[in-house]
Amino acid sequence: MKLTQALKMAAKSISGNKGRSALTMLGVIIGLAAVIILVSYAQGQNKAMEAYYESLGENTITVYASAYRDIGVDIAQELSNYCQQISEYVEGVTPNAQLWNINLSYGVQTLGQDQDYDTRPTFYLGSDQFALCNNYSLMKGRDISYMDIQRLNQVCVLGAAVADTLFGMVDPLDKTVTVNGKPFTVIGVYRPKGNGTTTYNEEGTNWQEVEMSRMDRIVVFPYSLSRILNDNQSSDQYTVKAKDSKSAKLAATYIKTFLQGLIPEDSGWVDVYNEGVYQEEQGEANKLQQYFLGGIAAISLVVGGVGIMNIMLVTVTERTREIGIRKAIGAERRSIITQFLIEAAMICGIGGIIGIIVGYLGTLIVGKLAFDIVLIPGAGITAGAFAISVALGLIFGMYPAAKASRLQPVEALRAD
Amino acid sequence: MLIDIKNVYKIYNEGLESEVRALDGVTLRIDRGEFVAIIGASGSGKSTLMNILGCLDVPSYGDYVLDGTDVTELTDRELARIRNREIGFIFQGYNLISALNAYENVELPLIYQGVSILKREDLVMEALERVNMADRARHRPSEMSGGQQQRVAIARAIAAHPPIIMADEPTGALDSRTGKHVLEILHTLHDEGTTVILITHDNTIASTAERIVRISDGQIVADSKDDDRLQAEVAREGGAGS
């Protein structure tokens, strides 16, 4: 029997048993779509986490250093100098001190200490490297400059959410705001850090979203203004931006040693903290979650496979009789196996393609609902899941046929 | 000599307590062009005999020479070829494939034979016309009556013009009028030179055959070829029965 004939025969058999063919395909479709959606969900989750940590500040080192009494050194200046010495690891350094007793007003609006935690901005003292170290970029105007620090210019840069709250549609640049009664000029606005979908609505439903918007609710002043904004207390917190996570670990060690040498143990305290460590922990947690979702995907593939197997096996009796008839009128074993193989491959192929389409649509919907991003399944998982479900269909479609074709025709005919 | 079986046994569960001797040493010769009816009560082994004659089953012991070929020596593939080209089967339960229409069912043995599509069309339509089913070519088995299904099954059996037709209770599931029609078709085939082997428990039908073989408990107990009285006896029994 020629291959074209076997193809035609398989097609006839599929269209001749529409109900059975549809049920078998359904097994493949569900199995395949479930795997694609679940694995893509896990990947989307991972992507969202990565994006979050990246916006938190990848490769940053947080340094706490202050002296109880005057030890005759400017820690900010010394740290800045030291970081230039180890510039092969470090990209920048900035004081990163939070200011507490600040009220900032423009027109009738006042932001600051009287607001609750979820809505008030965070006020920072920073250097010209504040944006670099904290992964901000400018949307409008300019950043704090070295001259602003030297000349004690009363200027500030606003986070996107603060600019939005105070000015709305009005251009904030060169507007004068009042900070603790003193006039300050707005020189720049940072680009929002959220992925563009973060709402500034304070009724944030998701902690991640609230954190995201908090990052855009900041105001930064030149650190030299600690004299007028912070009772002349200089910054005790610094952020160092390292070149990569490996450098961050090294630099953290160097900086700690340097500062411990600079500040005697009885005159102050030093603490150096590498974000990378925290990220690693989260990476572990993520991995666990991925294993978990991978497990669910594997189970759904097995369930899909069992579905395929079931429907294939359920029709065995019917097929056994058909094989008996075919053998009785002169079909060779080979013709029968070829026909059933092609039939199973056709059903699984068609079901597989529909399953992939359903899986893609499902993934898009899940991506939109869960992460608000365009989530597309990876080619690897798609191909893998397709291959597995086709293989399952072939094995379970072929096995009963191969078995029945080995029977004497009269035995196969007896099946009922 | 077309069919020559010698001391054929078919034994199930041999050596166990449940041992069944479906055929218990059968020897039978059938010449080309004969019309043989094999009769016997149910469970007598007549269907088993036909299955072995038709190469649908293999004997436990014994020899079977079909048209000069020792069938017991053949491979699976060679047996398939014999079933395909030498023998046309008509079953009691029709055994049509439900997913295929009448035309496709009749076409099937021709496909396995490798007949070209054009020639197939001629042969299929010719066979369907012979059984008066040409107008139902596109109907599925589920859309046909029992008699119509059996006629399609006959068309399938004769489509490739095999030299032997084997029919196992071909009228068993049909009413007497349809049964008569089926029997007429078999006789026409016989008149054209086809060897027909018919299995039946119905003596009226058997009595129309030119030779009758009676089987009981897996053994041939009478053969009209050796004993002229069997023919008359069967005819009388058939008359009494109907």
Contacts of A376 (CB under 8 A, 6+ apart): A40, A360, A363, A364, A367
Report the distance separating Cα A211 and Cα A283, nearest Å. 19
Average pLDDT, stretch B33-55? 92
- Tokens encoding B43: 């469970």
Q: How confident is the model at residue B33 (pLDDT cuts 50, 70, 90)?
A: very high
The count of other CB atoms within 10 Å of the CB of residue B124 is: 24
Interface of B with A in 187-206 (CB under 8 A): none
* For A20, nearest residue in chain B (alpha carbons): B99
Tell me: the pLDDT tens digits for A218-270?
999 998 888 788 777 777 889 888 887 778 878 888 888 888 888 888 888 88
**pLDDT at res. A342:** 85
* For B142, nearest residue in chain A (alpha carbons): A16
Q: Is the pLDDT of residue A200 over 50?
A: no
- Tokens encoding A206: 């998701």
Tell me: the pLDDT tens digits for B146-167?
889 999 999 999 999 999 999 9
Residues B159/B124, Cβ–Cβ less than 8 Å: yes
* For A408, nearest residue in chain B (alpha carbons): B57
Report the range out of A159-168, A279-288, A312-321 with the highest average pLDDT. A159-168
Residues B34/B210, Cβ–Cβ less than 8 Å: yes
Residues B192/B165, Cβ–Cβ less than 8 Å: no
The size of the A-B interface in CB pairs under 8 A is 73
The count of other CB atoms within 10 Å of the CB of residue B184 is: 11
Amino acid letter, residue A116: D
User: Which of the pair, B52 or A377, is modelled with greater confidence?
Assistant: B52
The count of other CB atoms within 10 Å of the CB of residue B229 is: 9
- A5/B83 Cβ within 8 A: no
Tell me: the pLDDT tens digits for A150-179?
888 999 999 988 888 888 888 999 999 999
Q: What is the ipTM of this complex?
A: 0.92
Task: Please give, rounded to a whole number of angstroms, the shortest distance from the CA of B80 to a CA of chain A.
Answer: 5
Q: Is the pLDDT of residue B3 over 90?
A: yes
Q: Considering only the beta carbons, identify the residue of B56, B84, B111 that sits closest to A410.
A: B56
Report the distance separating Cα A404 and Cα B182, nearest Å. 31
The count of other CB atoms within 10 Å of the CB of residue A114 is: 8
Mean pLDDT, chain A, whole residue set:
81
**pLDDT at res. A120:** 83
**pLDDT at res. A111:** 86
Q: Considering only the beta carbons, identify the residue of B54, B96, B99 that sits closest to A17.
A: B99
Tell me: the pLDDT tens digits for B208-226?
899 999 999 999 999 988 8
Query: Which strands sit side by side in the sheet containing A237-242, from one edge to the other?
Result: A90-95, A237-242, A60-67, A268-274
Report the distance separating Cα A43 and Cα A208, nearest Å. 18
Beta strands in A160-217 (DSSP E): 176-179, 182-190
Report the range out of A42-46, A68-72, A133-137, B117-121 with the highest average pLDDT. B117-121
Chain centre to alpha carbon of residue A213: 17
Q: Is B80 helix (H, G, I), strand (E, B) or coil?
A: helix
Amino acid letter, residue A91: E
* For B93, nearest residue in chain A (alpha carbons): A413
Q: For residue B60, which phi and psi values (nearest 5 degrees)?
A: -70, -45
Q: Is the pLDDT of residue A276 over 80?
A: no
Q: Considering only the beta carbons, identify the residue of B58, B100, B112 that sits closest to A335.
A: B112
- B80/A12 Cβ within 8 A: no
Average pLDDT, stretch A15-21? 83
- Tokens encoding B9: 């046994």
Residues A216/A207, Cβ–Cβ less than 8 Å: no
Closest CA to A106 of A225, A186, A216: A186
Residues A409/A371, Cβ–Cβ less than 8 Å: no
User: Tokens 């961050």 — which residue?
Assistant: A248
Task: With beta carbons under 8 A apart, name residues in chain A contacting B80.
Answer: 327, 330-333
The answer to whether residue B100 neighbours chain A at the CB level (below 8 Å) is yes
- A327/B99 Cβ within 8 A: no
Which of A14, A329, A334 to substitute to test the interface with B, most B CBs within 10 Å?
Answer: A329
Helix (H) or strand (E) holding B78: helix B76-85
Residues B74/B127, Cβ–Cβ less than 8 Å: no
Report the distance separating Cα A184 and Cα B237, nearest Å. 125
Q: Is A210 helix (H, G, I), strand (E, B) or coil?
A: helix
User: Which of the pair, A292 or B145, is modelled with greater confidence?
Assistant: B145
* For A21, nearest residue in chain B (alpha carbons): B99
Instruction: Say what the pTM is.
Output: 0.66
The count of other CB atoms within 10 Å of the CB of residue A383 is: 11
Task: Please give, rounded to a whole number of angstroms, the shortest distance from the CA of B72 to a CA of chain A.
Answer: 14
Helix (H) or strand (E) holding B184: helix B176-191
Residues A324/A415, Cβ–Cβ less than 8 Å: yes
- A327/B112 Cβ within 8 A: no
- A12/B104 Cβ within 8 A: yes
Task: With beta carbons under 8 A apart, name residues in chain B contacting A334.
Answer: 77
DSSP string, B35-54: EEEEE--TTSSHHHHHHHHT
What is the per-residue burial (b if ≥16 Cβ within 10 Å, else e) of A130-163?
Answer: bbbbbbbeeebbebbeeebbeeebbbbbbbbbbb
**pLDDT at res. A210:** 53
Q: Considering only the beta carbons, identify the residue of A5, A327, A413 that sits closest to B111.
A: A5
Q: How far apart are the first and last CA of chain A?
A: 28
* R_g of chain B computed on alpha carbons: 18
Task: Please give, rounded to a whole number of angstroms, the shortest distance from the CA of B225 to a CA of chain A.
Answer: 29
User: Tokens 């904290």 — which residue?
Assistant: A134
- B91/A330 Cβ within 8 A: no
User: Which of the pair, A256 or A291, is modelled with greater confidence?
Assistant: A256
Q: Is the pLDDT of residue B73 over 50?
A: yes
Q: Packing angle between helix A333-366 and helix B76-85, nearest 10 degrees? A: 100
- Tokens encoding A184: 């300050």
Q: Is the pLDDT of residue A215 over 90?
A: no
Mean pLDDT, chain B, whole residue set:
91
Task: With beta carbons under 8 A apart, name residues in chain A contacting B112.
Answer: 1, 326, 329-332, 335
Task: Please give, rounded to a whole number of angstroms, the shortest distance from the CA of B114 to a CA of chain A.
Answer: 6
User: Which of the pair, B234 or A203, is modelled with greater confidence?
Assistant: B234
Tell me: the pLDDT tens digits for A80-132?
888 888 888 888 899 888 888 888 888 888 888 777 777 788 899 999 888 88
Report the distance separating Cα B150 and Cα B158, nearest Å. 12
Task: With beta carbons under 8 A apart, name residues in chain B contacting A321.
Answer: 95
Share of chain A above pLDDT 70, in %: 89
Amino acid letter, residue B201: H
Task: Please give, rounded to a whole number of angstroms, the shortest distance from the CA of A41 to a CA of chain B.
Answer: 42
Contacts of B21 (CB under 8 A, 6+ apart): B9, B10, B11, B217, B218
Strand partners, B198: B37, B167
Average pLDDT, stretch A14-36? 83
The answer to whether residue B97 neighbours chain A at the CB level (below 8 Å) is yes
Q: What is the largest CA-CA distance in chain B?
A: 56
- B76/A330 Cβ within 8 A: no
Q: How confident is the model at residue B88 (pLDDT cuts 50, 70, 90)?
A: very high
Q: Considering only the beta carbons, identify the residue of A2, A325, A410 that sits closest to B51.
A: A410
Lowest average pLDDT, out of A46-50, A187-191, A270-274, goes to: A46-50
Task: With beta carbons under 8 A apart, name residues in chain B contacting A409.
Answer: 56-57, 83
DSSP string, A189-200: EEPP-S-S----
The count of other CB atoms within 10 Å of the CB of residue B240 is: 9
The answer to whether residue B111 neighbours chain A at the CB level (below 8 Å) is yes
Report the distance separating Cα B11 and Cα B20, nearest Å. 6
Q: How confident is the model at residue A27 (pLDDT cuts 50, 70, 90)?
A: confident
- B83/A330 Cβ within 8 A: yes
Q: How many residues does chain B have?
A: 242
**pLDDT at res. B215:** 94
The answer to whether residue B119 neighbours chain A at the CB level (below 8 Å) is no
The answer to whether residue B74 neighbours chain A at the CB level (below 8 Å) is no
DSSP string, B109-164: HHHHHT--HHHHHHHHHHHHHHTT-GGGTT--GGGS-HHHHHHHHHHHHHTT--SE
Residues B162/B87, Cβ–Cβ less than 8 Å: yes
Task: With beta carbons under 8 A apart, name residues in chain A contacting B99.
Answer: 12-13, 16-17, 322
* For A330, nearest residue in chain B (alpha carbons): B84
Alpha helices in A315-376 (DSSP H): 316-328, 333-366
Task: Please give, rounded to a whole number of angstroms, the shortest distance from the CA of A394 to a CA of chain B.
Answer: 21
User: Tokens 């009691």 — which residue?
Assistant: B92
Report the distance separating Cα B11 and Cα A397, nearest Å. 33
Task: With beta carbons under 8 A apart, name residues in chain A contacting B91.
Answer: 413
Report the distance separating Cα A157 and Cα A163, nearest Å. 9
Burial (CB count within 10 angstroms: exposed 0-12, middle 13-18, buried 19+), residue B241: exposed
Interface of A with B (CB under 8 A): 1-2, 5, 9, 12-13, 16-17, 321-322, 324-335, 408-411, 413
- A329/B109 Cβ within 8 A: yes
| Plot region of A198 (φ>0 → left; ψ -120 to 50 → alpha; else → beta) | beta
Lowest average pLDDT, out of A282-296, B18-32, B59-73, B166-180, goes to: A282-296
CA angle A297–A303–A309, rounded 5-degree value: 135
